[in-house]
Chain A
Amino acid sequence: MLVLLAFLAPLFAPVPSDAQQSDHEPYLQQLIDRAEEAKLAGQREWHLLLHYRKGLFGGYESEQDDPGFFLSPNGKTDPAAELNATLAKFFSDELVGSTRQPAQCAFIARYHWLKERLNFDATRLPPLACERFHRWYEDFEVQSVSLIFPSAFLNNPASMFGHTLFRVDQKGQTEQTRILAYTINYAAQVPPDAGIAFPVKGIFGIYKGYFSTIPYYLKVMEYRDIENRDIWEYRLNLTENQLRRFLMHAWELGNAYFDYFFFKENCSYHLMALLDYADPDLRLTDEFVLWTVPADTIRLITSKPGLVSDIAYRPSRSTVIKRKRESLPAAERDLAHRITQDPSAVSSPAFTELEFPRQAFLLDLASDYMRYRIETTDPPKPEWKARNKAILAARSQLRIPSEEFTVRPFAQRPELGHKTSRVSVGGGWRNNDTFEEASVRAGYHDLLDPEIGYTPGAQIEMASITIRHYNRAAQTRVERATLLNLLSLSPIDSVFHAPSWKVNIGMNTIRYNECQLCSNGLFNAGIGGAKEFRLLKREILFAFAEAEADVSKAYDEMYRVGGGGTVGMLVDLTERWKVMATGTYLKFPLGDKSDDFRWFVGTRFTLARNWTVRLEYNHRDYDNDVLFSVQAFF
């Protein structure tokens, strides 16, 4: 209570006027001297407030890119000058920054920290009321903060690795009303017509990133209903004082923008910076040097003892539909499907003979189907809306509330998955030679990697390179390199029929014509479908139509372009053991006219969460390759 009073005290304080502006000089000088004596500008807390990072060649630079965030012209690189300028501005009620507030209010976290350190004398440096901040702060009714993780969504390049945001949980909030809470979300401001330029601009920091407080119900609508992504919610254990610091600093960040870098300074990175200020002992941002993957931040948060108090799961609509269907006998599943085709099926004896709770369950499932179709199709067919209306009208006639239905996720919690980067060593035979090889992959996950904690059927490989030494040929070469290899398998059934697709950009080593080992640059993209079976444990069969362009000195005219198809299967034999087999035929009518038959069989066995072994066989025309390797994730 005392803390709260101290916090609210400025509300009732006098406001400085310009008349006092000139007689504050001696006190300001005194504060500056005391700050220098205490070396405040060198303290970690000041660096967290201003987002200073040590430069490569000594010195400091702030990650903040908005000039309005600094009160000194040299603030971006000079912590001491910024501190002195901040102290000077605290004596003025001039409106600063993009949000036009007095410095004490615009930079309220800085003000409170300096006030504590230097024991401001309220008569010589009168505190301002900052009503705007207090109204904003009170409106949160903050009780705690949760870190929210919507899982990966391959059909949106920015969401490939998932996303993270904070939810500010309210006092008195229940499981039923948590959608009313506000979130604190950091995202790039992207014009609606960004299109193809988006990934490039997102990677190179062309967009500006801002903090915003979007109501959680809008985020739930976006992830759960429209994009069909499961959401994980991690409630954090922060003290009352840490929560206040957290919100004060969030308010300061509302003043400014960071240049948004998709790989490192992204949504997750700046959330970690905010938590670092809330509790400087956490030291979260120091862990991310080259890139920040949202799942890694979740792994880090959950590894801190006592930081996470509770984990909740919120299934996407497609997960709900799949789990509900699994729970039904085939006849009732068909009945629910029939109702979506023709709602008048509710008057058929097959339906009316069922118990009321069962009828309610089938109608709810039918309505879930319709809403899924309506929300994932643009524009939706008008008759779907009419059918959904008829289904809901019939449902309202039953006069019983729907029973709770507990949904188990298909993907386990992200922090239980293997780590992001991978290194592997191996050896084998190619044609009549033997080799040893070493690979490193920056991220993230391929179809044969252990699937625990990852979105099933989603492959995202970025920046990997393999160096191989051939013993008889006595040469060491870059065997393979991948810039980007994406593959999305979406099993098709009576409800879900999103296409599967793949894109691969990289290079490999081929044997072609007279060339035994030649580097070959390749671009391959395809679209297709997948079907899931559960004969053994879980099998996915898939087929793609694809186009490929190859560039190598082994070809006549240096290149070939063509198309064809791939069929394959991905089989879980046990929890730890997975097999993949594919066959590809491609015909190249452009450039070097040729065709290509390829076979691949690979199997992976999991030794531990971050340790696996693989045996792989690759066949191309007159070219066979067997590889045994060990992978470690780090």
Chain B
Amino acid sequence: MSKKALILAVAVLFGAQAGPALAANPDTGPGCGLGKLAWEDYKGQKEILPQVLMVTTNGTGMNTFAISSGTSGCTNDGKILGEHRTTVFASLNFDALTAEMAQGQGEHLASLATLMGVPAERHAAFFAMTQERYTSLVQAGEVSPVAFVKSLNEAIVGHPVLAQASVR
């Protein structure tokens, strides 16, 4: 994913919103855009002077993650709302997760397992499971991150070792 694609992904995901919101209550209404987000090629022109400082500054992430910025999309004062943490992580790191599932290990995969409540001692089983079901998991992920997390959850529930450990 190029920088531009990442900016767009963050924007699509969090619903770019200008200025800090006034509400202090979590609002999980529209603006989180997780169900609709699918990975596709973003067409963008090559930037001559590469964009500055950070990918997420560009008007989107800055507000999304600004400290004490109130509620915007899936964030509250710059923190991703608990119920969306797994899906947001899965969608923004899908390329890395795909590679690590094929490779049967990796930090993104370990982090996803942690978010899904798989205890550290069962990570090896989780990694092996994702490698085994690689093709079907990637297909689900190409539909949407929500579908991807859902099939991962189903795989965990149907797994003799992981099912006992899963908290969700």
A and B: bona fide binding partners: yes
Interface positions of A (Cβ within 8 A of B): 98-101, 106, 131-133, 135-136, 139, 155-159, 163, 174-180, 182, 184-185, 187-192, 194-196, 198, 202, 210-215, 217-219, 221-222, 225-227, 250-251, 253-255, 267, 360, 364, 367, 371, 374-380, 382, 392-393, 395-396, 399-402
- A393–B49 Cα distance when bound, in Å, is 36
Determine the residue in chain A with the shortest Cβ distance to B19: A98
- A367–B123 Cα distance when bound, in Å, is 23
On whether the beta carbons of B68 and A132 are closer than 8 Å, the reply is: yes
- A360–B70 Cα distance when bound, in Å, is 47
Determine the residue in chain B with the shortest Cβ distance to A159: B53
Closest-CB distance, B19 to chain A (whole angstroms): 9
Asked if A98 meets B67 with Cβ closer than 8 Å, knowing A187-B54, A400-B104, the reply is: no
On whether the beta carbons of B103 and A401 are closer than 8 Å, the reply is: yes
**Which residues from A are CB-within-8-Å of B92?**
217-218, 221
Determine the residue in chain A with the shortest Cβ distance to B24: A132
On whether the beta carbons of B22 and A100 are closer than 8 Å, the reply is: yes
On whether the beta carbons of A402 and B108 are closer than 8 Å, the reply is: no
Asked if A215 meets B80 with Cβ closer than 8 Å, knowing A158-B52, A222-B55, A226-B3, the reply is: yes
- A178–B45 Cα distance when bound, in Å, is 33
Among the interface residues B10, B67, B115, which one has the most CB atoms of the partner chain A within 10 A?
B67
On whether the beta carbons of A190 and B53 are closer than 8 Å, the reply is: yes
On whether the beta carbons of B53 and A226 are closer than 8 Å, the reply is: no
**Which residues from A are CB-within-8-Å of B111?**
176-177, 179-180, 217
Of residues 74 through 92 on chain B, the ones whose CB sits less than 8 Å from some CB of chain A are: 76-80, 89, 92
On whether the beta carbons of A212 and B98 are closer than 8 Å, the reply is: no
- A434–B157 Cα distance when bound, in Å, is 84
On whether the beta carbons of B61 and A212 are closer than 8 Å, the reply is: yes
On whether the beta carbons of B95 and A371 are closer than 8 Å, the reply is: yes
On whether the beta carbons of A100 and B2 are closer than 8 Å, the reply is: no
Of residues 102 through 117 on chain B, the ones whose CB sits less than 8 Å from some CB of chain A are: 102-108, 110-111, 114-115
- A178–B54 Cα distance when bound, in Å, is 20
- A364–B131 Cα distance when bound, in Å, is 14
On whether the beta carbons of B2 and A177 are closer than 8 Å, the reply is: no
Asked if A196 meets B62 with Cβ closer than 8 Å, knowing A185-B54, A393-B134, the reply is: no
**Which residues from B are CB-within-8-Å of A179?**
107-108, 111
Offer 10 A-B interface pairs, CB within 8 angstroms, sorted by A: A100-B20, A139-B79, A180-B111, A195-B49, A212-B61, A217-B111, A225-B1, A250-B67, A367-B102, A399-B132
**Which residues from B are CB-within-8-Å of A218?**
6, 10, 55-56, 61, 92
- B123-166 vs A, CB cutoff 8 Å, 1 = contact: the mask equals 11001100110110000000000000000000000000000000
**Which residues from A are CB-within-8-Å of B95?**
371
- A189–B61 Cα distance when bound, in Å, is 10
Determine the residue in chain A with the shortest Cβ distance to B42: A379
Determine the residue in chain B with the shortest Cβ distance to A385: B41
**Which residues from B are CB-within-8-Å of A180?**
89, 111, 114-115
**Which residues from A are CB-within-8-Å of B17?**
none
Closest-CB distance, A278 to chain B (whole angstroms): 16
On whether the beta carbons of A222 and B3 are closer than 8 Å, the reply is: yes
**Which residues from A are CB-within-8-Å of B135?**
393, 396
Closest-CB distance, B34 to chain A (whole angstroms): 15
8 Å CB contact of B2 from A189, A191, A379, A399: A379
Q: Does B168 contact A (CB under 8 A)?
A: no
- A367–B114 Cα distance when bound, in Å, is 25
- A46–B50 Cα distance when bound, in Å, is 40
- A401–B57 Cα distance when bound, in Å, is 36
On whether the beta carbons of A198 and B49 are closer than 8 Å, the reply is: yes
On whether the beta carbons of B52 and A251 are closer than 8 Å, the reply is: no
Asked if A375 meets B59 with Cβ closer than 8 Å, knowing A135-B77, A212-B78, A396-B134, the reply is: no
On whether the beta carbons of B104 and A399 are closer than 8 Å, the reply is: yes
Asked if A163 meets B53 with Cβ closer than 8 Å, knowing A191-B59, A212-B66, the reply is: yes
Closest-CB distance, B105 to chain A (whole angstroms): 4
Asked if A217 meets B108 with Cβ closer than 8 Å, knowing A226-B2, A393-B134, the reply is: yes
On whether the beta carbons of A226 and B55 are closer than 8 Å, the reply is: yes
Q: Does B44 contact A (CB under 8 A)?
A: yes
Determine the residue in chain A with the shortest Cβ distance to B130: A396
Closest-CB distance, B108 to chain A (whole angstroms): 7
Closest-CB distance, B81 to chain A (whole angstroms): 10
**Which residues from A are CB-within-8-Å of B108?**
179, 217
On whether the beta carbons of B68 and A136 are closer than 8 Å, the reply is: yes
8 Å CB contact of B69 from A192, A214, A254, A402: A254
On whether the beta carbons of B103 and A198 are closer than 8 Å, the reply is: no
Closest-CB distance, A624 to chain B (whole angstroms): 39
- A299–B58 Cα distance when bound, in Å, is 30
Q: Does B93 contact A (CB under 8 A)?
A: yes
- A376–B41 Cα distance when bound, in Å, is 14
Closest-CB distance, A245 to chain B (whole angstroms): 15
On whether the beta carbons of B78 and A378 are closer than 8 Å, the reply is: no
- A191–B16 Cα distance when bound, in Å, is 13
Q: Does B99 contact A (CB under 8 A)?
A: yes
Closest-CB distance, B87 to chain A (whole angstroms): 13
Which 10 A-B residue pairings sit nearest by Cβ, starting from the closest? A254-B67, A401-B104, A396-B134, A254-B68, A176-B110, A392-B102, A396-B102, A99-B68, A212-B65, A213-B78
Closest-CB distance, B120 to chain A (whole angstroms): 7
Could you list 4 further interchain pairs (A-B, Cβ under 8 angstroms) beyond the known A211-B67, A217-B111, A251-B68?
A135-B76, A157-B52, A179-B107, A189-B57
On whether the beta carbons of A402 and B104 are closer than 8 Å, the reply is: yes
On whether the beta carbons of B107 and A176 are closer than 8 Å, the reply is: yes
On whether the beta carbons of B20 and A217 are closer than 8 Å, the reply is: no
On whether the beta carbons of B2 and A375 are closer than 8 Å, the reply is: yes
**Which residues from B are CB-within-8-Å of A156?**
50-53
- A321–B105 Cα distance when bound, in Å, is 18
Asked if A198 meets B131 with Cβ closer than 8 Å, knowing A254-B67, A378-B47, A379-B44, the reply is: no
On whether the beta carbons of A399 and B66 are closer than 8 Å, the reply is: no
On whether the beta carbons of A132 and B99 are closer than 8 Å, the reply is: no
- A158–B49 Cα distance when bound, in Å, is 11
Closest-CB distance, A222 to chain B (whole angstroms): 4
**Which residues from B are CB-within-8-Å of A99?**
20, 68-70
Q: Does B32 contact A (CB under 8 A)?
A: no
- A163–B108 Cα distance when bound, in Å, is 23
Closest-CB distance, B154 to chain A (whole angstroms): 19
**Which residues from A are CB-within-8-Å of B65?**
212-215
On whether the beta carbons of A187 and B53 are closer than 8 Å, the reply is: yes
On whether the beta carbons of A212 and B67 are closer than 8 Å, the reply is: yes
